[in-house]
């Protein structure tokens, strides 16, 4: 029985108080938390949950992938046409409005977030940052057509009575990954960087720029918002989730710097004898794994109660940070403490 079926079955029995309490305790223990009964049934039945989170703004989730769409009096603005939802995205829109989709915003170029774009009306404008456009122009992937509107740093999208402010600062999770801000509704969206309540996806959210990923957490805190949408984990977050994310990334960086400083690769080689045997290259893998284990052992007790699922992915985060320090991050204080 799949997890969604279990959740739905659990809540169907919520007519009796004792079952409700049992469900709540059981689901909290699984890390799923207290999903609203109607939403749990929606995921099991329709394949998605749909929840209004602001004036005309709808949170749409299959509990692994999230996005939003915005209903204006002159059309619907879709953010990230998720392939896990496919045409169900259009079904969700039809639940709340008969307005046509007039605009599609790509948060970034990754297929797992925008791979259903070709299922949406061909006349809709597609908007993305210029790096995303360059990549999609090169890929020629029919599932995610290139945008007809692109921007370098900022784009103000006004459709009828709705305003979305798009902004790009620097590469982070991916080149071209943008902020999507709705100032009137105090909603901020940034995909694949912050996972409210959870540890990041492995390898620091498969970040292509570790320094940029840390910095964009702090830049997110400069926005005026109350609700945060992160692209994954089935729930929205808030300012505290971003503060936790920044603190965690800073802790990983500080710890990785420590474990690398405590034992350098040349020091490690002296203890193995592999250099004399001409096998230094393989020894480098062993060295990294030893330092990863040291990083993991120090961080897990401090952070495993704060971020769900951390034990599953922490070694990958330590490894990505160690590699980031080896190949790109500047020396000195932790990136999260720097004022840029």
Q: Which residue is nearest to Zn ion (CB)?
A: 110
CA distance 22 to 333: 48
- In terms of CB distance, is 60 or 292 closer to Zn ion? 60
Kindly state whether residue 133 participates in binding Zn ion, applying the rule CB under 5 A. no
Nearest distance from C-beta of residue 257 to Zn ion, angstroms: 26
Give the containing element (helix H, strand E) for 103.
strand 101-105
Kindly state whether residue 42 participates in binding Zn ion, applying the rule CB under 5 A. no
Kindly state whether residue 192 participates in binding Zn ion, applying the rule CB under 5 A. yes
Site for Zn ion in 109-128 (CB under 5 A): 110
CA distance 211 to 335: 6
Partnered with residue 76 across adjacent β-strands are 71, 101
CA distance 201 to 313: 7
Nearest distance from C-beta of residue 125 to Zn ion, angstroms: 22
Residue count at the site for Zn ion (CB under 5 A)? 2
CA distance 337 to 340: 9
Give the containing element (helix H, strand E) for 51.
strand 49-54
- Tokens representing residue 288 in the block: 């990294």
Decide: 146 and 126 in contact? Cβ < 8 Å: yes
Decide: 115 and 83 in contact? Cβ < 8 Å: yes
Quick one: which segment of 11-19, 185-193, 262-270, 328-336 binds Zn ion (CB under 5 A)?
A: 185-193
Nearest distance from C-beta of residue 85 to Zn ion, angstroms: 16
Nearest distance from C-beta of residue 22 to Zn ion, angstroms: 37
Quick one: which segment of 135-143, 192-200, 252-260, 271-279 binds Zn ion (CB under 5 A)?
A: 192-200
Nearest distance from C-beta of residue 110 to Zn ion, angstroms: 3
Quick one: which segment of 43-51, 108-116, 289-297, 306-314 binds Zn ion (CB under 5 A)?
A: 108-116
Mark residues 248-277: x for contact with Zn ion by CB under 5 A, - for none: ------------------------------
- In terms of CB distance, is 229 or 295 closer to Zn ion? 229
Quick one: which segment of 51-59, 106-114, 215-223, 264-272 binds Zn ion (CB under 5 A)?
A: 106-114
CA dihedral 266, 271, 276, 280 (to 10 degrees): -50
Decide: 314 and 203 in contact? Cβ < 8 Å: no
- In terms of CB distance, is 37 or 115 closer to Zn ion? 115
Q: Exposed, middle or buried: residue 286 (CB in 10 Å: 0-12, 13-18, 19+)?
A: middle
- In terms of CB distance, is 62 or 192 closer to Zn ion? 192
Quick one: which segment of 78-86, 189-197, 242-250, 310-318 binds Zn ion (CB under 5 A)?
A: 189-197
Nearest distance from C-beta of residue 178 to Zn ion, angstroms: 12
Partnered with residue 125 across adjacent β-strands are 103
DSSP string covering 132-181: HHHHHHHH--TTSPPPSEEESSEEEEEETTEEEEEE--S-SSSTT--EEE
Give the containing element (helix H, strand E) for 78.
strand 75-79
Decide: 46 and 95 in contact? Cβ < 8 Å: no
- In terms of CB distance, is 135 or 185 closer to Zn ion? 135
Nearest distance from C-beta of residue 190 to Zn ion, angstroms: 11
User: Can you give the binding site for Zn ion, defined by CB under 5 A?
Assistant: 110, 192
């Amino acid at each position: 029985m799949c997890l969604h079926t279990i959740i739905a079955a659990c809540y169907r029995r919520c007519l009796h108080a004792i079952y409700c309490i049992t469900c709540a305790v059981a689901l909290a223990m699984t890390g799923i938390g207290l999903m609203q009964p109607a939403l749990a049934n929606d995921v099991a039945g329709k394949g998605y949950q749909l929840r209004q989170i602001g004036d005309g703004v709808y949170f749409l989730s299959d509990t692994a992938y999230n996005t939003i769409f915005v209903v204006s009096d002159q059309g619907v603005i879709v953010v990230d046409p998720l392939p896990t939802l496919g045409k169900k995205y259009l079904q969700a829109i039809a639940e709340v409005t008969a307005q046509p989709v007039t605009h599609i915003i790509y948060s970034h170029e990754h297929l797992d977030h925008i791979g259903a774009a070709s299922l949406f009306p061909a006349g809709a404008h597609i908007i993305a940052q210029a790096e995303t456009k360059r990549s999609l122009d090169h890929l020629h992937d029919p599932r995610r057509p290139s945008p007809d509107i692109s921007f370098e740093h900022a784009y103000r999208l006004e459709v009828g009575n709705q305003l979305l402010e798009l902004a790009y600062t620097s590469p982070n999770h991916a080149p071209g990954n943008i902020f999507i801000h709705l100032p009137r509704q105090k909603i901020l969206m940034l995909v694949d960087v912050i996972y409210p309540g959870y540890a990041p996806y492995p390898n620091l959210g498969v970040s292509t720029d570790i320094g940029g990923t840390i910095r964009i957490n702090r830049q997110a805190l400069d926005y005026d918002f109350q609700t945060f949408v992160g692209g994954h984990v089935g729930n929205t977050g808030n300012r505290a989730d971003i503060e936790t994310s920044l603190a965690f990334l800073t802790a990983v960086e500080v710890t990785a710097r420590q474990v690398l400083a405590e034992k350098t690769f040349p020091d490690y080689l002296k203890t193995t004898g592999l250099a004399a045997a001409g096998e230094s290259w393989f020894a480098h893998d062993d060295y990294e794994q030893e330092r990863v284990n040291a990083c993991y052992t120090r961080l897990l007790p401090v952070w495993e109660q704060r971020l769900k699922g951390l034990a599953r992915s922490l070694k990958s985060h330590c490894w990505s940070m160690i590699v980031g320090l080896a190949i790109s991050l500047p020396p000195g204080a932790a990136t999260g403490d720097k004022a840029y």
